[in-house]
Homo-oligomer: A and B are copies of this chain.
């Protein structure tokens, strides 16, 4: 009511296979069909809703535009510089989300929704490049001290798959033996007792995150309904 429009947007991260088979950290963007910035790509989002929590609005908007359901959803930051929109004052509460690999296989029916490699974006609408850069910084920082990597993976995974997630997000190779030692020392993952099925001689063990260990994930403000 003070001449300020309140919006909610979300940066959605997923690991998607590139044409050569490698997984690439990717985000879905929506092409704007009206001014300002008509034709430019932008983060999924829209106006805040007067009766809904901000996290619920973020989850609903991202489901409506992309069909995706987040495995992890956290508030990123509230962006409110006076000049970020050329036509009105818009304050955007931005969330960031992680979706699983199987969800990320999805190709969007709407030609105005498309996956982009997170590190090779075109010039986006508003200050959305800055927002994605900040979300990437948060993701990379948080990956090193929390168990959020499993939100890309599903409930069970091999240590090689977990290491690959870390390597793709951090953009550097990790020594397998060191990685195994660090993960085991952190006591964040535990063996399930199961192995990858298939005809291999020494099938890799499957692990899961130990949810009884207190790790810094969302902090004390986890939105209701999201782990």
- Residues on A lying within 8 angstroms of B by beta carbon are 1-6, 47-54, 75, 77-78, 80-82, 89, 91, 93, 133-134, 137-138, 141, 216, 219-221
Copies in the complex: 2
The one of B1, B54, B134 in contact with A80, judged by C-beta atoms closer than 8 angstroms, is B54
Task: Across the A-B interface, give the 9 residue pairs with the lowest CB-CB distance, nearest first.
Answer: A3-B50, A54-B80, A78-B78, A78-B93, A2-B47, A1-B5, A4-B6, A50-B89, A53-B81
Give the Cβ gap from A78 to chain B, nearest Cβ, in Å. Answer: 4
B141 and A216 contact, CB distance less than 8 A: yes
Give the Cβ gap from A7 to chain B, nearest Cβ, in Å. Answer: 9
Residues of chain B within 8 A of A49, CB atoms compared: 2
A137 and B219 contact, CB distance less than 8 A: yes
A137 and B52 contact, CB distance less than 8 A: no
Residue from the set A6, A47, A54, A77 with the largest chain B CB neighbour count within 10 Å: A6
A186 to B222, CA, bound (A): 31
**Residue in B closest to A49 when the chains form the complex, CB atoms:** B2
B93 and A91 contact, CB distance less than 8 A: yes
Residues of chain B within 8 A of A141, CB atoms compared: 216, 219
B2 and A220 contact, CB distance less than 8 A: no
Residues of chain B within 8 A of A53, CB atoms compared: 80-82
- Between A and B, 21 residue pairs with Cβ closer than 8 Å are A1-B3, A1-B4, A1-B5, A2-B50, A3-B50, A4-B6, A6-B91, A52-B82, A53-B81, A54-B78, A54-B80, A75-B77, A75-B78, A77-B221, A80-B93, A91-B93, A134-B219, A134-B221, A137-B219, A137-B220, A141-B219
Residues of chain B within 8 A of A216, CB atoms compared: 141
Residues of chain B within 8 A of A80, CB atoms compared: 48, 53-54, 93
Residues of chain B within 8 A of A78, CB atoms compared: 54, 75, 78, 93
